């Protein structure tokens, strides 16, 4: 730790000297750097995105400077606190970023014209305690259900829209006996939460209403809408493959891609995997409790970009972010990285058909991020972690009721989270 802190003033001094000399030699163009954890995106940025931007703004040069994913948070923190760091910083969603905002790392983006392209929910992951937005939303992931269209056709099934229809479809596939209804297992508990409960649950707890209610302390996990959601998720159990307790994420994806299972509850990031064997795959959104109810869809913010408060080139950085907010960047990025979705309210065209289908699920649906990642997991026990664990217990033991799961979740949260204490 100490050695890093000592070395930063030195690095910063060198950096200033370097940029100073460059500035003296060429007054134009301005070079700004962008820090990111997506080392795998380096080619996308250098070959596609940045040339497109620089063609429009020849006076600004952007340098993409990724840092290893696992070291990203620590590296950014020590750089910025030492007065260095890129002009543009890629932002983690929710709690990590809220801490960064609190420490004054970012310049507020209020007043940036492009910000109007994003609604309040999309900006929530990068807002501070003062409700101002500090990072521009870049990409999100969605969760839904992939289905094998050929199996649906063979068995004469229609894509379900309500919870009752969903269970009927599963029942029909089970009765036929040739295919596993759901390619789903509980060995990896994270996906019980992310691809299961947090996907179908928002329809019960009314998305943001329930999520923000928990954050404000106005709602409890033991309220009927949360217990009903957990019960609706628990109702999947009879339709899982034998031995599901030991099946991990790779097993379930494989079961689906081999054509042995009809439905795969999964995230949009798995688009390439789910279609890798050339199956005729479609996608549908989480069912609603009753016909005619409002539809909800999980949209999990993944990354945003903010401006370093200590940057010397804030105007150039703002010009860049305004371009990032527009449809040109959004289309370039999401098509280069299928599975990632633009959060902008402006329409974006996806070249991958399944990605377009996934994006179409957003129409008419209210969007909501994963239930427990905003504030509710910043203490011990973290609500997210407890949700994984207790859903896994519910799926691996026969005598655990949804009510018990909800009671234990609430007790854990209320043990440390202020608004829920009482």
Q: By the criterion CB under 8 A, which residues form the site for other proteins? A: 1, 95, 103, 185-190, 241-248, 251, 255, 377-378, 380-382, 384-385, 388-389, 392-393, 396-397, 412, 415
Asked if residues 313 and 32 have their Cβ atoms less than 8 Å apart, the reply is yes
Shortest Å, Cβ 382 to other proteins: 5
H/E stretch holding 366: strand 365-368
Q: Which residues contact 230 (CB under 8 A, 6 or more apart)?
A: 197, 201, 391, 394, 402, 405, 406
The residue ranges of DSSP E strands in 117-255, in sequence order, are 135-148, 180-182
The residue ranges of DSSP E strands in 225-337, in sequence order, are 261-267, 281-284, 295-308
Is the CB of 338 or the CB of 382 nearer to other proteins?
A: 382
DSSP for 122-157, written as a single string: HHHTTB-TTS-B-EEEEEEEEEEEEEEHHHHHHTT-
Give the C-alpha separation, 147 to 281, whole Å.
6
Is the CB of 332 or the CB of 393 nearer to other proteins?
A: 393
Asked if residues 78 and 6 have their Cβ atoms less than 8 Å apart, the reply is no
Owner of token pair 């999964």: 266
Shortest Å, Cβ 187 to other proteins: 5
Q: Which residues contact 113 (CB under 8 A, 6 or more apart)?
A: 322, 325
Give the C-alpha separation, 133 to 136, whole Å.
8
Shortest Å, Cβ 234 to other proteins: 16
Give the C-alpha separation, 86 to 91, whole Å.
12
Kindly give the interhelix angle for 95-102 and 72-81, rounded to the nearest 10 degrees.
10
Is the CB of 39 or the CB of 380 nearer to other proteins?
A: 380
| Burial class (CB within 10 angstroms; exposed 0-12, middle 13-18, buried 19+) of 259 | middle
Owner of token pair 């890798």: 276
Is the CB of 133 or the CB of 186 nearer to other proteins?
A: 186
Is the CB of 1 or the CB of 27 nearer to other proteins?
A: 1
H/E stretch holding 62: strand 60-66
Shortest Å, Cβ 217 to other proteins: 20
Shortest Å, Cβ 229 to other proteins: 19
Shortest Å, Cβ 137 to other proteins: 21
DSSP three-state, residue 402: helix
Write out the two tokens for 69: 């994913």
Nearest alpha-carbon partner for 263 in 231, 293, 286, 292: 286
């Amino acid at each position: 730790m100490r050695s890093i802190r000592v070395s930063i003033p030195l690095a910063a001094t060198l950096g200033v000297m370097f940029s100073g000399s460059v500035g003296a030699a060429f007054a134009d163009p301005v070079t700004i750097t962008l820090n990111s954890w997506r080392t795998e995106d380096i080619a996308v940025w250098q070959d596609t995105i940045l040339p497109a931007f620089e063609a429009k703004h020849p006076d600004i040069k952007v340098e993409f400077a990724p840092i290893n994913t696992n070291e990203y948070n620590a590296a950014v923190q020590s750089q910025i606190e030492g007065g260095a760091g890129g002009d543009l910083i890629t932002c983690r969603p929710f709690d990590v970023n809220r801490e960064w905002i609190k420490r004054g790392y970012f310049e507020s983006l209020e007043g940036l014209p492009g910000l109007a392209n994003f609604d309040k929910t999309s900006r929530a992951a990068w807002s501070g305690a003062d409700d101002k937005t500090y990072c521009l939303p870049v990409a999100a992931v969605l969760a839904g259900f992939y289905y094998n269209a050929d199996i649906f056709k063979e068995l004469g099934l229609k894509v379900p829209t309500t919870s009752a229809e969903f269970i009927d479809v599963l029942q029909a596939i089970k009765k036929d006996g040739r295919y596993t209804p759901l390619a789903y297992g509980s060995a990896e508990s994270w996906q019980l939460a992310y691809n299961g409960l947090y996907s179908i649950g928002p329809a019960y707890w009314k998305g943001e209403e329930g999520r923000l209610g928990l954050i404000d302390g106005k709602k409890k996990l033991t309220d009927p809408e949360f217990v009903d959601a957990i019960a609706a998720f628990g109702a999947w159990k009879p339709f899982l493959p034998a031995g599901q307790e030991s099946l991990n994420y790779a097993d379930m994806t494989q079961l689906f891609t081999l054509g042995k299972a009809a439905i795969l509850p999964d995230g949009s990031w798995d688009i390439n995997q789910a279609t890798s064997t050339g199956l005729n795959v479609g996608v549908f959104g989480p069912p609603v409790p009753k016909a005619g109810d409002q539809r909800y869809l999980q949209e999990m913010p993944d990354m945003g970009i903010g401006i370093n408060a200590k940057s010397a080139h804030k105007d150039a950085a703002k010009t860049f972010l305004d371009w990032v907010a527009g449809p040109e960047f959004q289309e370039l990025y999401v098509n280069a990285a299928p599975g990632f979705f633009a959060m902008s309210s402006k329409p974006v065209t996806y070249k991958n058909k399944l990605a377009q289908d996934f994006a179409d699920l957003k129409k008419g649906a209210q969007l909501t991020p994963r239930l427990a990642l905003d504030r509710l997991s910043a203490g011990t026990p973290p609500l997210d972690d407890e949700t994984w664990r207790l859903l896994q217990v519910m799926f691996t033991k026969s005598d655990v009721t949804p009510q018990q799961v909800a009671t234990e979740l609430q007790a854990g949260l209320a043990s440390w989270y202020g608004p829920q204490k009482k």
